[in-house]
Each structure stands twice: as C-alpha cells, then as structure tokens.
Structure 1
C-alpha cells in the first residue's frame, strides 16, 4: 500500500447523518459526496428534498483543498486529461473502508455526488461493482483509465443518473466526451441536460434525483 493510500481516510466524526445509529437498522443508505473546495454540510442541505426511506450520510473529502479555498477535496484538480488515477482510487478506497467500518449494515448502498463527488460515485462503482445499488453523477464525470470492475459493470449495467448543465464551464470538454462514451456501455443510464445551468444543481435536478432514487430503492 502506498504512503498516500495509507494516509487517506474518511473522518467518521465529520460525517453528517440524517438518522441516529438506532434508527439506521434495516434501512438503505445514501452516501453524499460534495464537490471540490466544499464540505460535508453542502449536499446535506438536499436531505429534506430527497426520499425519506434511505439513511443519508454526507461525507467530508479526505484532503484539504489548496489555498485560497477553505474546504476539502477528493483529489487534486488535475489537467484536461483528468486527475491522477492513484489519487482518485486512494479516496475511493477510503470510502469503501469507511463503509466496511460501519456498525450498522445498510440493506443497500446508493451514491450521490456533485462535481468531484460525482466522479467519486462512478469510481466507487468501478472499484466495487457489487456493493452499490445505484449512483447519481451530478455535474460530474468519468475519470480516465481502466478499472478491474469495468468489465463487470459492462455486464451488470447498474442504474446511473448523469445530470449536467449546458452552461457548465468547469468540467473540461474532454471529460464530458469521455463520460458520454463510457456511461451508456457500463450502466443503465438515465440522463438529463439542463438548459442554461452552470456548474451546479437546480430545482429540477433535485426533483430528478429524488425520482431516480425512489425508482431504485
């Protein structure tokens, strides 16, 4: 194991939960992962607009974002070619290790992430295809390279939602093309392009996310 991997962990004390430990028994889990330079409280604000059945856990990314950002990141921003694969996988494996450490085992696990967190959704499903029931990639992308789970995903085609705005100038065009090519062959894809939306999630996106989750519980 690399030094980077050994030091990359999810802080359990920073996780925001929608239910107490005693209320998590026998329920599905929805894991939220924020974007670059943000924090665990960001997407947790969506909780009232999402289905009530899943327990929601909003994670803090394991790395401090570089100055002047006052937040956290899943991996360094990288280039148009994408982030370094080992950095993305260190964080993905940290999330899997955190899931393994839970004292209450959920009945299923779904993923929802924004931007970098959306890239993490796909990478987690590529790292451990059998673990996750569905994923929502909000203004996110597929990272470059091949993963051992890709072949299995091409067979099982788990449900994935990909939503993005026509006005998003943050995600590189090369990443959009890569994602457009990859998702239809490795998932049962539901997608929506939001006219005029920049790098964000609008009310229609939240409604679409809720409907997608409800269909896949």
Structure 2
C-alpha cells in the first residue's frame, strides 16, 4: 500500500483556521493531481475546511499526473487495488485529522476510492459526493454496517460519459440505494467531466449536510 504524501496536500485554510470545522477531502481522478479539484473550492460552502490530496501512484508513461490504482491490463482490475487506495486515505486521515467530521468528494477514480473508504469504515465518514464514479464490485466486511447506517451520498454522472464501463454503472445503480441515502442526477449531454449545473447541485447537497450537522449539534 503506497502512502499519501502529506506535503502534496492543498488546504483551503491554515491549521488555526481549520480548528472546529468539518473537513471535506477532495480526491482527483486518473492522470490528475491535487490541483485539479482544488479549483472547485470557490464553489463549495465556506464552512468546510477543504483538503485536496494527491493520489500515491504514477501512471505509466506517457500518462500525466497520478492515480489511485492501476487500470492498465486485466490483472490491474483487481478490486484490492481500490481497497488499498482507500486504506491509504484512511491512514492519512488518522494521522492528519483524528476526531474530525469528514466528508469526501471524489471524481472518477477518486469517487470509487471515496465509496470504498466508506465501506471500510462506515462510521468514519459523514457523507460522500461522487462525480463520474462507481462502486467497486465485490463484498467488504463493512457493507452490512454501511447499509444500516445509510450515509448521504450524491452521485452525479453524464449521459455521454464513455469512460466508466456500463456494467460498473449498472452495478452502482443497484448497489448504492441499498447502502446509502442516495441523491443525485444524470446530466443530459455531459461527458466524463463536471458541469456548472452539477456543481450547483453539489453545493446544495453540501449545504444540506451542514444543516444536518448543525441540527445534531
């Protein structure tokens, strides 16, 4: 399991300003890095402290950036690679933000890792935003507890997304409603990307999570 680089994290606030605030962790997609989703910060509710982390692997040349798990070759479709990436994320959180309320926002590979992390530690994460992603097939020991807890999950995807295989979309369509309080939208004409309309929906979802936390407190 490759560790996350603590020096390759972009924060929306310094340590003093993060105290007492819920944490939103951004998980980029294949071939990108921590800067990719950090550009979303102005569109997100300012109540969150935001951390954009860098995936630990480097794709084979000539692919740029970083990846959470390998996708080259059939042998690299092993779901254990996604679990390893989610475990690395959890280890980084254990060292960086113990006891902090954490939500996850991932794109593509990052979305798959976000959902896998929730499955590994169902009580650890308040919610997840998954954009152009999927649930990794297979069973994990935490799935039953996750289905009982049913944390809020937003899943956004486009009708013209030809990157995520159809069988993974079909699996996610069946799996998520059984394990989460699912909300989201299918965006007509959207490719493997994020649109302004989707960002508007994400912001509404995040604001609802803040309202729910305030009500609990």
TM-score by length of structure 2 reads 0.93
Q: Is the 8 A contact 2:106 2:129 kept in 1?
A: yes
> 1:166-207, CA deviations, whole angstroms, 9 ceiling, x for partnerless residues?
000000000000100100000000020000000000001111
**Given the alignment of the two structures, is residue 201 of structure 1 paired with residue 194 of structure 2, yes or no?**
yes
CA drift at 1:85 = 1.8
**Given the alignment of the two structures, is residue 48 of structure 1 paired with residue 11 of structure 2, yes or no?**
no
**Given the alignment of the two structures, is residue 140 of structure 1 paired with residue 133 of structure 2, yes or no?**
yes
Partner-residue secondary structure (3-state), 1:30: strand
Q: Is the 8 A contact 2:155 2:184 kept in 1?
A: yes
Partner-residue secondary structure (3-state), 2:105: strand
Moved more, 78-87 or 122-131: 78-87
Separation of aligned partners in 2, 1:82 and 1:125? 22
CA drift at 1:83 = 2.7
**Given the alignment of the two structures, is residue 190 of structure 1 paired with residue 183 of structure 2, yes or no?**
yes
Q: Is the 8 A contact 2:108 2:133 kept in 1?
A: yes
Match of 2:108 in 1: 115
> 1:54-96, CA deviations, whole angstroms, 9 ceiling, x for partnerless residues?
1000010000011111110000126789831221111111111
Separation of aligned partners in 1, 2:24 and 2:56? 19
Write out aligned runs for 1:141-160 (5 A): 141-160=134-153
Separation of aligned partners in 2, 1:82 and 1:161? 27
TM-score by length of structure 1 reads 0.93
Match of 1:86 in 2: 80
Match of 1:9 in 2: 3
Q: Is the 8 A contact 2:32 2:67 kept in 1?
A: yes
CA drift at 1:107 = 3.8
Q: Is the 8 A contact 1:24 1:106 kept in 2?
A: no
Selected match of 1:97 from 57, 82, 91: 91
Separation of aligned partners in 1, 2:78 and 2:38? 28
Q: Is the 8 A contact 2:70 2:76 kept in 1?
A: no
Unaligned 5+ segments in structure 1 are: none
Selected match of 2:29 from 18, 32, 35: 35
- Where does structure 1 differ by over 6 angstroms across 4 or more consecutive aligned residues? 79-82
Count of aligned pairs between the two proteins: 210
Q: Is the 8 A contact 1:81 1:174 kept in 2?
A: no
> 1:4-30, CA deviations, whole angstroms, 9 ceiling, x for partnerless residues?
x2xx10000000000001111101000
